[in-house]
Amino acid sequence: MDFNFLNDYFMFFIHGAKITLLLSIFTIFLGVLMGIVLALLRLSNNVVLKSISAAYIEFIRGTPLLVQLYIVYYGLPLIGIEFPDIDALGSSFPDLMSGVVALSLNSGAYVSEIIRAGIQAVEKGQMEASRSLGLTYGMSMYYIILPQAFKNILPALGNEFITIIKESAIVSIIGIHDLMYNTDIVRGNTYKPFEPLIIAAIMYFIMTFTLSRLIGFVEGRLKVSD
Amino acid sequence: MINVNDMNKSFGDLHVLKDINMNITKGEVVVIIGPSGSGKSTLLRCLNLLEVPCDGKITFQGIDITDEKNDINKLRQDMGMVFQQFNLFPHKNVLENITLAPMKLKKINKEKAVKIAMDLLKQVGLEDKHFTYPNQLSGGQKQRIAIARALAMSPDVMLFDEPTSALDPEMVGEVLQVMKQLASDGMTMAIVTHEMGFAKEVADRVVFMDEGSIVEVAEPKKIFSNPENPRTKNFLGKVLSVS
């Protein structure tokens, strides 16, 4: 094995990793936001809202991410949503946004199922106690239920975040210059189909391992009240 | 203070409360007794609408709480409730448990809320536990904190749903003591309990329920020594012979 190509291409991997990270952070943020909304809809008493949320989750879980990515990539411009073509760390901003939107729409469905399970795992008496004090449903959710649910679901949520980082590699297919895309370029330029993949794997692993340690640390901090 | 008129409640086909009529006047301690499944807890939970009655009317200080136009959240601020399972918030320490509602709902500043909380903790004999988390407390301590939490909103009435049923026997006394003190301070209280001794001593009126109906209402002296209804007699015969 020959890793001499790193002399010329190392920064290529770094730039790719930056895009992957950027993409993942936005996706995690938007995915969680969407997940909370979908979970609350799913748990509401309104049959219409409930069904919309359930149908959405089923659809996302039942179709490939690649198909969803294409639908967003070609679909957004069709329904008149276009992002300004500004430079985003060397990548095209509209492409990047397509990636973020598709990954968030996908992740939101999975996150919502995690959050729903977490909310339902909080004892029923907690909501009753909170309501009996006069707090509204929303306040009870915000101050009492969600913080406890969050603690329950942190490990599962961590898994989902790690999945996002890994699955984000799929956006290379719409030409976003993420770690995977840049790796492919190096493979082509150097006529080395194998070695660059090792570098990519190591870099993905560094990102996911760091994240999993970070989540482990937060879990430890939240254990104070146990 | 609380009036219940012809209230019914069903869970599906199960008719758990049948034509309930009841009133609780200011400063009165009403104890509800009866066999398991007689609807005592459901009745109590209807009083602050944790269970929504199917029909009938419940008024609290003259306001119809079953009318959706009236803000139940506002009304609940004046009705404290204590649960069998305590239901303290495990992610918050004792002080935060008590100050949350006053700070968020009454917009009392933190300093003042903490002062109120500390006074209440003193009242229930737990002023040294203010930074403790619920999971480090015994059952009796948890229930006393739960009472303090409800009192922090300075409610006009306190509802107790079997407050000592989940406690180890040696901790029942400390909780009943706090409730007794509360009663003698003039708090209006509705209590579902199996503690007959406590009912005898503290109640102004005892309500006996069986199979979803109120069977008999009387002063404790009367109901415990000379119950009128045979079902009351039967029930009390069973529970009192044990103790």
Q: Which residues pair with A181 in a beta bridge?
A: none
Pairing of strands B205-210, B188-192: unpaired
Among B74, B89, B100, beta carbon nearest to A126: B89
ipTM above 0.90, yes or no: yes
* B interface test, pick of A127, A132, A225 with most B CB neighbours within 10 Å: A132
Which chain A residues touch B133 with a CB distance below 8 Å?
224-225
Structure tokens at B122: 């003193």
Q: According to DSSP H, which parts of A122-194 are helical?
A: 124-132, 137-140, 146-167, 179-190
Chain B CA closest to residue A223: B91
Q: What is the pLDDT of residues A148-189, one digit of tens each?
A: 999 889 999 999 999 999 999 999 999 999 999 999 999 999
Confidence of residue A53 (pLDDT cuts 50, 70, 90): very high
Confidence of residue A224 (pLDDT cuts 50, 70, 90): low
Residue A90: predicted pLDDT: 67
Residue scoring higher pLDDT (B142 or A76): B142
Q: What is the CATH number of the domain that holds A74?
A: 1.10.3720.10
Q: What band does A85 get if pLDDT is binned at 50, 70 and 90? A: confident
CB contact B71 to A (< 8 Å): no
pLDDT given for residue A222 in this prediction? 80
Query: Which residues fall within 8 angstroms of residue B211, CB to CB, at 6 or more apart?
Result: B18, B38, B39
* Cα of B83 to nearest chain A Cα, Å: 8
CA angle A211, A215, A219 (to 5 degrees): 170
- Contact list in B for residue A133 (CB cut-off 8 A) is 76-77, 80, 100-101, 105, 149-150, 153
Q: Report pLDDT for B218.
A: 95
Cα–Cα distances (Å) from A198 to A19, A203, B36, B118, B121, in that order, read 19, 9, 67, 61, 62
Mean model confidence pLDDT for chain B? 94
Q: Is B16 helix (H, G, I), strand (E, B) or coil?
A: strand
SS3 B15: strand
Residue of B nearest to A149 (CA): B91
Task: Measure the CA–CA gap between A17 and A48, rounded to whole angstroms.
Answer: 42
- Of the pLDDT bands very low, low, confident and very high (cuts 50, 70, 90), residue B241 is confident
Q: In chain B, pLDDT over 70 holds for what percent of residues?
A: 99
Residue A130 lies in a domain: yes
- The C-alpha angle with vertex A9 and arms to A8 and A12, in degrees rounded to 5, equals 145
Cα atoms found within 13 Å of the Cα of residue B170, Cβ hemisphere only: 1
Beta carbons of A133 and B76 less than 8 Å apart: yes
Say which amino acid occupies A113: E
> Are the beta carbons of B76 and A131 separated by less than 8 Å?
yes
A35, part of any domain? yes
Q: How many domains does chain A have?
A: 1
- Quick count: other Cβ atoms within 10 Å of Cβ A127? 19
The continuous run of DSSP H or E covering B30 comes out as strand B29-33
For residue A135 the two structure tokens come to 């707090």
- Please report the number of interchain residue pairs, chain A to chain B, with beta-carbon separation below 8 angstroms: 69
Residue A22: per-residue pLDDT: 93
Average pLDDT over residues A199-216: 96
Structure tokens at A152: 């329950």
Chain A nearest-CA residue for B103 = A135
| pLDDT at residue B243 is higher than 60 | no
Give the C-alpha separation, B106 to A37, whole Å.
28
Report yes or no on A53 lying in a domain. yes
For residue A202, what is the enclosing H or E element?
helix A195-222
Distances (CA, A) of A79 to A53, A73, A84, A103, A171: 22, 11, 15, 19, 21
Is there a contact between B75 and B63 (Cβ–Cβ < 8 Å)? Answer: yes
pLDDT above 70 (res B106):
yes
- List residues bridging with B58 in a β-sheet: B4
A158 by DSSP, 3-state: which?
helix
Residue to mutate among A128, A133, A137, A145, with most B CBs inside 10 A, is A133
Q: Which residue carries 């649960």 as its tokens?
A: B83
In-domain check, residue A1: no
Q: Supply angle C-alpha B112, B115, B118, rounded to 5.
A: 150
Strands B157-161 and B79-82: what pairing?
parallel
pLDDT by residue (tens digit) across B33-49?
999 999 999 999 999 99
**Average pLDDT of the residues in B59-67:** 93
Encode pLDDT of A151-161 as tens digits: 889 999 999 99
pLDDT bin (cut points 50, 70, 90) of residue A77 is confident
Token pair belonging to A47: 């049959």
Q: Do A225 and B83 touch (CB under 8 A)?
A: no
Rounded mean pLDDT of B112-135? 95
Residue B8: burial class (beta carbons within 10 Å; 0-12, 13-18, 19+) = middle
Q: Is the pTM of this model over 0.80?
A: yes
CA angle at B108 for the pair B96 and B140, rounded to the nearest 5°: 35
What pLDDT score does A88 carry?
65
Nearest to A148 by CA among B76, B138, B81, B88: B88
Q: Is B57 exposed, middle or buried (0-12, 13-18, 19+ CB in 10 A)?
A: middle
With CB atoms and an 8 Å threshold, state whether A130 touches B80: no
Residue A120's domain comprises 6-225
Q: Where are the alpha helices (DSSP H) in B54-189?
A: 72-76, 94-105, 110-123, 139-151, 169-184
Please give the single-letter amino acid code of residue B3: N
Average pLDDT in the B14-34 region? 95
Report CB contact under 8 Å: B76, A226: no
Mean pLDDT throughout A196-201? 96
User: Across residues A22-31, what is the average pLDDT?
Assistant: 95
